[in-house]
Structure 1
């Protein structure tokens, strides 16, 4: 009898804990498409002698076209007085193979815990998006679609950051954010033109600056008009020291009827461990969304990068890309889509030495131009379901 009472007491305690976590939500996206790309080579790394090889066409089944495939858990607990405890655990995966993305991390898209105040904003700790990523999210015509969006060229491969403290607050029409990472966690292997690997885990004893990152952003939205400004800096490992990757951006948007136009500018400057300039560029984008009917949406986006200096070369052909997206929604949860893009002087997503080929390495699907090629075209049709 005594054991039974103890068991019931234990079950009651567990039930109370479960009730306290009743706000936990399971969510996700599954997205797959069939893609065609021409003039594709291999990522030039040590294993292939830094040689992208001959031009090839490719037909492939991909995970992620409009959205990266993911599943996650999101939870809140009301602590009273307008204060809540919050957490997010979000895992990215390849739907076509069942493997994890983000270098095999279990919760590679986001993993954080923190506190949220109705009056003062939100403070969180863990792996999170940078402040620049948040500040520009509503000013990307394609909405950071996985396929063909040059987010790495725009913001750098460090737009997700490990070991991060982040603040977000909303004050009327203004949203503010700032973050600090003790060790960003982004790492790129040596590629053609780059003698050493870049980035790492950080948090190295005696080298506080190594792999740290920080930034801030402000966004304004009222009526049909929106605008934002942001700054981001990453101090990646280079050899046994660190370099600097700096970016600053401004963007604006305007909505009228079923249409929204938006665009922006991003300044960039990268230096090596000896404080020598290795990249300087000005990135521009402009585009529009048009909701033809409640079910049919169209997007057009143009991107251009003025490469002033790339590893000492001041006469680089400036890459540009034009992309088009059309989607048809069967419901709020399921839609089908077409994505297509043409890039010049870079691969699709504007992947090249200027990005460290980070997009191709991350997706494990090459968008690297083959030897002797200067342009690339790609198109895909797919289906997306949200849950």
Structure 2
């Protein structure tokens, strides 16, 4: 069974596993915008506001990227003979509501890489790319990492895209293996709580090869009705406090399953996470679970339900943090092969939507420019969005 959502995820990744039959360059993109209502919203905590989100308010706003992040891109291929090709992807994220660039103002912030691909031996690519964990797990998450409400940063880490990356992707029948190494991820997040720290840096640091480096690997099986995936990711970010600058070790390991049924798919999985400072102290330790499915009501209409739960064991020394969870429902109707309309709704408890919290330095709110931080006194958040998406 083919799903329009699955196809959208493939376009979003501009997948390095895609095959091109001849030389050429393709311009592509997505424009996605929605009107959104969100309850109990506070400000993103920073040192400037004393790490105080302030009072909770409801908000109605126009946002960019509900089902997919708005972007435009160019991808190309040149046949070199003997089953070998040169390939490249340049993909720029933008805000459809304001026309500004995303990914901290990068021109090609979503992807920017060049590589060599061989039909038998796989692809080797260099540049800004998705991590191995992201590549393998995206098709095992019911909402396919939809921009609105999906807890992607909690799931994969803020480093799901990394600068200065060398990556190998190999297809072997129903198996796909991916491995990557980043010499400097370019991920940087400010301090989010008084007891926390600023995270990451601009890229490679001379004389400090480990600092802000990252690596990972994954293996996915997508043959038959039952699919499975395993992935590991490690990020070694700069950790900056008033007293020192050091390199931490952030690790994540994931296992996922997906099963095809006559009416759709069900899927779920588990992600183990542990973030440590250079001294070995635990900054964050959690166990994240998800389950849900996609129901193909008609060829044009799909319903998606996803439940996410995070078992928080330690956040900056606090071992009694309430465990956040979220329920997300998406109704998507295709008007054509390129255009669809959707209604998305989510309820989060003990965190903001997307499970935004101090444990991930409120990275979702910072990246999107729209706060999903709980205001003072609030313990839950509701979001409802109606939007339109066009793919070209």
Q: Given the two structures, how large is their TM-score scaled by the length of structure 1?
A: 0.94
Distance in 2, Cα, partners of 1:256 & 1:109: 33
Is residue 243 of structure 1 aligned with residue 248 of structure 2?
A: yes
Q: CA deviation at 1:210?
A: 0.1
Question: In the alignment, which residue of structure 1 is the partner of 2:322?
Answer: 317
Is residue 255 of structure 1 aligned with residue 260 of structure 2?
A: yes
Q: What secondary structure is seen at the aligned counterpart in 1 of 2:137?
A: helix
Q: CA deviation at 1:223?
A: 1.2
Instruction: Map 1:1-387 to 2 at 5 A.
Output: 23-239=24-240, 240-387=245-392
Q: What secondary structure is seen at the aligned counterpart in 2 of 1:107?
A: coil
CA gap of 1:194–1:167, structure 2 versus 1, over 3 A, is farther
Distance in 2, Cα, partners of 1:206 & 1:253: 44
Conserved? CA contact 2:312–2:321, under 8 Å: yes
Q: CA deviation at 1:83?
A: 0.3
Conserved? CA contact 1:176–1:218, under 8 Å: yes
Distance in 2, Cα, partners of 1:40 & 1:205: 41
Distance in 1, Cα, partners of 2:196 & 2:82: 55
Q: What secondary structure is seen at the aligned counterpart in 2 of 1:24?
A: strand
Conserved? CA contact 2:23–2:79, under 8 Å: no
Conserved? CA contact 1:185–1:202, under 8 Å: yes
Distance in 2, Cα, partners of 1:205 & 1:292: 55
Distance in 1, Cα, partners of 2:136 & 2:212: 22
Distance in 1, Cα, partners of 2:194 & 2:284: 12
Conserved? CA contact 2:163–2:203, under 8 Å: no
Q: How many residues get paired? A: 367
The Cα RMSD (Å) is: 0.9
Deviations 1:116-142, CA, capped at 9 Å, x for gaps: 000000000000000000110110100
Conserved? CA contact 1:235–1:243, under 8 Å: yes
Conserved? CA contact 1:229–1:249, under 8 Å: yes
Q: What secondary structure is seen at the aligned counterpart in 1 of 2:149?
A: coil
CA gap of 1:194–1:31, structure 2 versus 1, over 3 A, is farther
Distance in 2, Cα, partners of 1:174 & 1:124: 19
Deviations 1:77-118, CA, capped at 9 Å, x for gaps: 000000000000000000000000000000000000000000
Distance in 2, Cα, partners of 1:62 & 1:275: 40
Can you give the 5+ residue segments of structure 2 that lack an aligned partner in the other structure? 1-21
Q: What secondary structure is seen at the aligned counterpart in 2 of 1:222?
A: coil
Question: In the alignment, which residue of structure 1 is the partner of 2:14?
Answer: none
Question: In the alignment, which residue of structure 1 is the partner of 2:18?
Answer: none
Distance in 2, Cα, partners of 1:26 & 1:381: 27
Q: Given the two structures, how large is their TM-score scaled by the length of structure 2?
A: 0.93
Question: In the alignment, which residue of structure 2 is the partner of 1:17?
Answer: none
Q: What secondary structure is seen at the aligned counterpart in 2 of 1:292?
A: strand
Q: What secondary structure is seen at the aligned counterpart in 2 of 1:198?
A: strand
Deviations 1:304-352, CA, capped at 9 Å, x for gaps: 0000111111111000000000011011100000000000000000000
Q: What secondary structure is seen at the aligned counterpart in 1 of 2:59?
A: strand
Deviations 1:165-186, CA, capped at 9 Å, x for gaps: 0000000010000000000111
Can you give the 5+ residue segments of structure 1 that lack an aligned partner in the other structure? 1-20
Q: CA deviation at 1:202?
A: 3.0
Computing the radius of gyration over CA atoms, which structure comes out larger, 1 or 2?
1
Q: CA deviation at 1:194?
A: 4.3
Distance in 1, Cα, partners of 2:141 & 2:152: 9
Conserved? CA contact 2:232–2:254, under 8 Å: yes
Q: What secondary structure is seen at the aligned counterpart in 1 of 2:24?
A: coil
Distance in 2, Cα, partners of 1:359 & 1:97: 18
Conserved? CA contact 1:212–1:235, under 8 Å: yes
Q: CA deviation at 1:22?
A: 5.6
Conserved? CA contact 1:336–1:381, under 8 Å: yes
Deviations 1:44-100, CA, capped at 9 Å, x for gaps: 001212110001000000000000000000000000000000000000000000000
